[in-house]
A and B are shown apart, each in its own frame.
Chain A
Amino acid sequence: MKPFIKFFSSLELAIACMVLGLVLVFVGTLDQVHLGIHGATERYFYSFFVMWEIPNSEVAIPYLPGGYTVGTTLLINLITALFTRFRFSWKKAGVLMIHFGVISLLIGELVSSMMQVDSNMAIDEGATKNYSEDRTISELVIIDHSHSTTTDRVYAFPKAMLKTNHDVRHEDLPFSISINQFMTNSVIRKRDENTPSKSLIANKDIGLDYYAIETPKTGKMDEINRNTANLTIFDSEGNVAGTWLASLAFPLQRFSFEGKDYSLQIRNKRYYHPFEIKLIDFSFDRYLGTNIPMNYSSMIELTNYDTGENREFLIYMNHPLRYSGLTFFQSSFTPDELTTILQVVSNPGRHLPYISCILIFAGLSFQFGFGLITFIGKRLKRS
């Protein structure tokens, strides 16, 4: 056990982690040009290893430890050093606080990377919404319109379940869905004489007119991955009901199965909230006589289904609405200025960086202040 403790508490390991952290930030920042911010974050920081794909093969080998490995190692190093090397005394109370500050910073980032959920709520003026949509995660939904007179039942299959040549099903659905091909990103083309024969298997609805071509995945902020699936629906006896082309670009496609009405769609993952937001007015103010933006703001009315609470809020730049554990930022709008786009962030670890900064600031102030007072005391004594 001792060699392990010695290794994990060593200063050399801490320095190695910090250097690797610097390298990761440097390389990740450069690669952001190619991968975009999401792509670079996933590849370099939210991973255990940074992989290099050998060209023209599907083999990938790790060539750098990823953010999770470096961060976790540094976390273990700090905790181990705290217990093995540190002997508490008032003189070193500042160092202790700094250690705790850095530890909570690392834990905060881990919690954020694992649990933070970012989504968008696009609302037209006068319209109301009670859900936000994840821009980076999609889902295949089968909607049962015959469920009741007032509600539809939604079966949402997450993207992680949609794999080429895999079947997905739910016990309450009378059919199963076979994913013939899943494309993370694609472009949609109108069917013509050049349409590849494998794309001609779609024989229902939009798939009769269009087909999809797979394109490389993007991680850029201003681009989306157009998830597309070519899927076949089978009844319980294995008979084919039809083959559809579903894509993030397409509207709901309706169909009947055993006398009941359904529709299917690939859409951005939705998060339903126990409240609804109505957009009363969106304003984009400019400095008069110029096109220089002065302010963007959304006047909204929030109604909570559970409590009946009904309030109006003004969300504008740097003044988000914090409600029910969520933060609503004024994020964007459509060019006609009739639709606001709010960024909805849920991050259980959002307080930890503040706590860390306070701890580190207090620790540094104490340590340097203590040193300064000791130094002045010694000088006074000498003189």
Chain B
Amino acid sequence: MTRILRLIWTTLLVSALAFSGCKRATVAVYDVPKEANPSSKPKTAATLPNQNAPKGRIQWTKPDAWTELVPTAFRKGNYIVEGSSGAKTEITVSSFPGSVGGILANVNRWRGQASLSPITSDELARSLTQISVQGQSGQFVDIEPESTDPSAIYIVAAIFLYGGESWFFKMSGPQEIVSTQIATFEQFVNGLAFLDTELEPEAAAIKPTDGELAFDVPAGWTESKGSSMRLASYEIVKDSFPSADFSITSFPGEAGGLSANVNRWRQQIGLPKWSDEQIQTELKTVKSDSFTFALFDLKPVTDDEKANVKERVLAAILKSDDRSWFYKLKGDVFLLETQRNKFRDVLLTSRFESSPGNNDL
């Protein structure tokens, strides 16, 4: 019994020491994709949306009547106006990537903040005025409260899509104060300055694999929704076959290595894993003018596999010093037989186009 107890105490003591050892401080070293570098996310030259880093910024001048507060992580401008009763109205400037759900979604969000029911897109026009400041068009939103209570929330806002971001200039507070500040707010909005900022030097320098990844889209392939991970996403619909799916993704480094990726794709369609030797045997290369791809044709071969597996994957990997691109076409075994040459054409026409990002939002 004494021995058992001694063992338990020792275990507790060792565990406590182990726990305390876990907390020893060490330097962590890791790689992350460049945050403001558009070249880290190459896209097809087709019609994928512009996801470039913001290239513009807006400057404004604070009206004298407003008190400046410290900007926060989410508020680029943060101001307050106090009424005689002590009630306060906030004026904020914020910007977010993309269209943030569109104007209707944002107006309905603000209507919710003012305790008003949502409106339809037809009704939206009534509270929306098109404005133009320094040639930049935007929308002015007026969300007047339905109640005459001086403390009812009144919201006015100006929205601009600029530099790939949605900019919101918003005043929100009790109507007794907001109604006295509307003229000042309009003056504030009319004084906005839209500036072009240059890209960071390292982002502007064109490297061999910089720019947008482009290829000639084969006939019969239609763009599909995909996901944010995909640089390109296409669907192939033919006859009565289930549709096939084509994607290009890109990751830093080797993204797990050749063996891990090939075997993951094999398992996705129900095929057994290959050994490293088999992978090297099955590896074929496709050379274009600029690149050499590692190509794999993953399909059922044995009778047993043919009986159970109905899908096939054509996959190609392009590697640079520090990044890998994965081309993958997955679909019905017979459908993919008809798409093999088209897949090859995609590889042969792939290139990086060093075009500066457009600003078409």
Interface residues, chain A, with chain B CB atoms under 8 Å away: 1, 5, 72, 75-76, 79-80, 83-84, 110, 114-115, 122, 124-128, 139, 145-161, 168, 170, 172, 261, 272, 276, 278, 281, 284-286, 288-291, 301, 303, 305-308, 310, 334-339
Cα distance, A337 to B106, chains bound together (Å): 9
Interface string of B205-222 (1 = CB under 8 A from A): 001011000000000000
* Minimum-distance CB pairs A-B, first 3: A160-B25, A126-B98, A151-B31
Residue in chain A with minimal CB distance to B16: A72
User: What are 13 pairs between A and B in contact, CB < 8 Å?
Assistant: A5-B2, A80-B8, A83-B1, A84-B1, A110-B19, A124-B74, A147-B31, A149-B210, A151-B33, A154-B30, A281-B105, A288-B115, A301-B227
Cα distance, A105 to B3, chains bound together (Å): 25
Stretch of B132-140, B176-184, B250-258, B288-296 at the chain-chain interface = B250-258
* Secondary structure dominating the interface of B: mixed
* Secondary structure dominating the interface of A: mixed
Interface residues, chain B, with chain A CB atoms under 8 Å away: 1-2, 4-5, 8-9, 12, 16, 19, 22-23, 25-35, 37, 39-40, 73-75, 90, 92, 94, 96-101, 105, 109, 112-113, 115, 117, 168, 170, 202, 207, 209-210, 227-229, 249, 251-252, 255-256, 264, 268, 321-323
Query: In the complex, are the beta carbons of A272 and B30 less than 8 A apart?
Result: yes
Distance (whole angstroms) from the CB of B93 to the closest CB of chain A: 10
Cα distance, A158 to B322, chains bound together (Å): 27
Query: In the complex, are the beta carbons of A126 and B12 less than 8 A apart?
Result: no
Query: In the complex, are the beta carbons of B321 and A148 less than 8 A apart?
Result: yes
Distance (whole angstroms) from the CB of B111 to the closest CB of chain A: 10
Q: Do A126 and B115 contact each other (CB < 8 Å), given the known contacts A114-B22, A154-B29, A306-B256? A: no
Distance (whole angstroms) from the CB of A8 to the closest CB of chain B: 8
Residues of B within 8 A of A334 (CB): 74
Residues of A within 8 A of B90 (CB): 335
Cα distance, A340 to B32, chains bound together (Å): 23
Cα distance, A124 to B32, chains bound together (Å): 20
Residues of B within 8 A of A145 (CB): 34, 202
Query: In the complex, are the beta carbons of A281 and B29 less than 8 A apart?
Result: no
Query: In the complex, are the beta carbons of A278 and B25 less than 8 A apart?
Result: no
Query: In the complex, are the beta carbons of B228 and A307 less than 8 A apart?
Result: no
Residue in chain A with minimal CB distance to B168: A336
Q: Do A150 and B39 contact each other (CB < 8 Å), given the known contacts A124-B97, A126-B97? A: yes
Known: A76-B8, A126-B99, A127-B97. 6 other contacts (CB 8 A): A72-B12, A76-B12, A278-B228, A303-B228, A306-B256, A307-B264
Query: In the complex, are the beta carbons of A150 and B322 less than 8 A apart?
Result: yes
Query: In the complex, are the beta carbons of B113 and A337 less than 8 A apart?
Result: yes
